[in-house]
Structure 1
Amino acid sequence: MRNLFVITIFFFSLVGNTQAQIVDKKNLIEKNAELKKIEGGFSFTEGPAVSRLGDVYFTDQPNNRIMKWSFFTGKTEVFMENAGRSNGMFFDKEGNLIACADMDNQIWSIDEEGNKTILIESYQGKKLNGPNDLFITPTGEMYITDPLYVRDYWTRSLESQQNGEHLYFLSSNRLQFIRVDEKLERPNGIIGTPDGKTLYVADAGAKKIFKYDIIEDGYLSNKEVYLERGSDGMTIDFRGNLYLTGEDGVKVYNKKAEEVAHIPVPEKWTSNVTFAGPDRKTLFITATEGVYQIRMKVYGTH
């Protein structure tokens, strides 16, 4: 039967000679596609964000820089040094790169020349824990996760100034900055549907992924557990399949929270994932020391 169709692709791990297996139960991956390493030698890659042209900007956080990968040339280059130890990133509708710059626990807007504007630097006069990841809706509203991962480069007090690790909302006019969920243990990865109606948040502390309805003025309702597992960064395709990362490559779950694909990655950790290229059919994966790509049949929405 078609719904039991499984494509299995073999490739040799770049670490040792162990054989890994790509499992694709719903025909999401292009036929005969292979996972390809784009470049290695980084300290820890994170925060891939796709531009309008399909290029990907990602962070090499320990080296405090933002890199740019060109889809057309296949080459990477440094886009920005002294990048505020940026972590998660996302492009807004004006083409600015919005970054979780946790050196000073801020949210930055970076233009195409690399000039930064600080959008958020505190909540009610107190520093955030360390913004980790964000999602921007089609109408420009922003959702931001703020876990506390103590950094060895902080010179301030390592104690949290907030009363917990929360999920925040920033309005499109940048005037309203509020908490929208104060009952998470350690919010981390975040992504929303392209219609701006549904939000997914990975709670690394609870090892759960929560699903919300986005309602008027950015508030959230109908919170429910989507999946009993955690994730680092996440993305979504046009079918509504969710792509999760962590210690076992990239795993894909459908709207019913059923696992439908698994893409092993020869690194200790996969941190984040996005869809790249003008057609948004190249899955771009950030991992511990390298970045990878694989061609898909489905396309992404961000």
Structure 2
Amino acid sequence: MTTGSPIEIVDPKFSSYILANAPLEELASGFRWIEGLVWMGDWGCLLFQDLPRDRTMRWTETGGISVWRSPSANANGQARDCQGRVVFCSHLDRAVGRVEHDGSVTTLVSHFNGRRLNSPNDIVVKSDGTIWFTDPVYGISNDYEGLRRKSELAPAVYRFDPATKGLTTISSAFEGPNGLAFSPDESRLYIAETGDQTKPNPAQVMKVCDVSPDGRAISGLCDFYKVEPGYTDGLALDEDGNVWSSAKDGVHCISPQGELLGKIGVPYRVSNLCFGGGPHLNRLFIGGSHTLYAIFLNRRGARTPRG
């Protein structure tokens, strides 16, 4: 099913990113809130979360929608590690887990300095195998996407090394760290700040920082781009370092310099997105609230481990 997709050209170069004969397609609907989109290149499928229903869904071009894992422990963000396994953030377990090749699940980390994590939200795997994730309180603030419980730690961004089992704080300068993604060369890290939702005007801005040459720390954290209307939740990068951000009115494409290039209109608020669709990664999959969309672009997504 195709749907009208108003394209807004802000910078003329954005015109070259859009294919005139490739409309926004509705792939499936009827979910409660879509999160955690990840393309499984060697499997030829997309995995995503139907988060409030506590299940991980699978989509293929020929087979459509099926359930991949249920219950999912209210999994949110997910990614692939360097061995092709799925690593995921669990609101219910307040942990980061991994789905092994045989389907069993391993808990990788659930505590920091003896205290429970809040509700890990989004996750990326660096080429050195380390796992970076955000830990806001959203999954323990209500019973819809997890289970309401008391926070034991301030929101933060973490780096976990599966080889040493070491967990370190990358930054605690966030009220509600959400989506995150590395630049193609992994020299920069983009982090969505979606703020303290209990406040009338929460801080909501995408931030960027430099990653140290040894990949262990960040520096120079600063504001990068403020999505309007809405805010950045999930985000994805293309091969040239442009940032494709979720927004209330669809998807915003932002240059590496923080300039808005253009927008793809989507009928519902976008929560998350990822590139995939084949060997060229030139299809953008979009979680629009309760509906899954996709659009082919004249862009290729940045390569990720086993993507």
Please indicate, yes or no, whether the TM-score normalized by the shorter chain is above 0.5. Answer: yes
SS in 2 for 1:245: strand
Deviation at 1:217, TM superposition (A): 4.6
Q: How does 1:46-125 map to 2 (within 5 A)?
A: 46-53=35-42, 54-71=44-61, 73=62, 75-125=64-114
Deviation at 1:77, TM superposition (A): 1.1
CA deviation digits over 1:162-182, x for unaligned, max 9? 1x2111111241521011111
Q: Unpaired runs of 5+ in structure 1?
A: 1-10, 14-19
Deviation at 1:196, TM superposition (A): 1.8
2:149 is matched with which residue?
A: 158
2:200 is matched with which residue?
A: none
Q: Distance in 1 between matches of 2:97 and 2:128?
A: 19
RMSD: 1.9
- TM-score (normalised: structure 1): 0.88
For 1:222, give the aligned amino acid.
Answer: G
- The answer to whether the 8 A contact 1:85-1:101 is kept is yes
CA deviation digits over 1:63-82, x for unaligned, max 9? 111011124x2612110001
Q: Is structure 2 residue 208 aligned with structure 1 residue 208? A: no
- The answer to whether the 8 A contact 1:38-1:74 is kept is no
Q: Distance in 1 between matches of 2:207 and 2:147?
A: 32
Deviation at 1:121, TM superposition (A): 1.1
Deviation at 1:44, TM superposition (A): 1.0
2:243 is matched with which residue?
A: 242
- The answer to whether the 8 A contact 2:244-2:251 is kept is yes
Q: Distance in 2 between matches of 1:192 and 1:153?
A: 29
Q: Is structure 2 residue 279 aligned with structure 1 residue 290? A: no
CA deviation digits over 1:72-97, x for unaligned, max 9? x2612110001010001111111111
1:276 is matched with which residue?
A: 276
Q: Unpaired runs of 5+ in structure 2?
A: 196-202
Give the direction of change, closer, same or farther, for the CA distance of 1:299–1:178 in structure 2 (3 Å limit). same
CA deviation digits over 1:161-204, x for unaligned, max 9? 11x21111112415210111111111001011222221000111
The answer to which of 21-30 and 51-60 deviates more is 21-30
Q: How many residue pairs were aligned?
A: 283
Q: Distance in 2 between matches of 1:287 and 1:161?
A: 32
2:29 is matched with which residue?
A: 40
Q: Distance in 2 between matches of 1:34 and 1:287?
A: 15
SS in 1 for 2:52: helix
Q: Is structure 2 residue 8 aligned with structure 1 residue 23? A: yes
2:187 is matched with which residue?
A: 197
1:3 is matched with which residue?
A: none
- The answer to whether the 8 A contact 2:52-2:145 is kept is no
Q: Distance in 1 between matches of 2:19 and 2:102?
A: 35
Give the direction of change, closer, same or farther, for the CA distance of 1:217–1:239 in structure 2 (3 Å limit). closer
Q: Distance in 2 between matches of 1:275 and 1:217?
A: 24
CA deviation digits over 1:108-158, x for unaligned, max 9? 101344321110111111111100001111121121111111131699762
- TM-score (normalised: structure 2): 0.87
- The answer to whether the 8 A contact 2:108-2:162 is kept is no
- The answer to whether the 8 A contact 1:251-1:259 is kept is yes
Deviation at 1:29, TM superposition (A): 2.1
Q: Distance in 2 between matches of 1:240 and 1:196?
A: 10
1:139 counterpart (128, 141, 162): 128
Q: Distance in 2 between matches of 1:154 and 1:224?
A: 30
Q: Distance in 2 between matches of 1:152 and 1:97?
A: 25
Q: Distance in 2 between matches of 1:211 and 1:31?
A: 32
Q: Distance in 2 between matches of 1:12 and 1:87?
A: 27
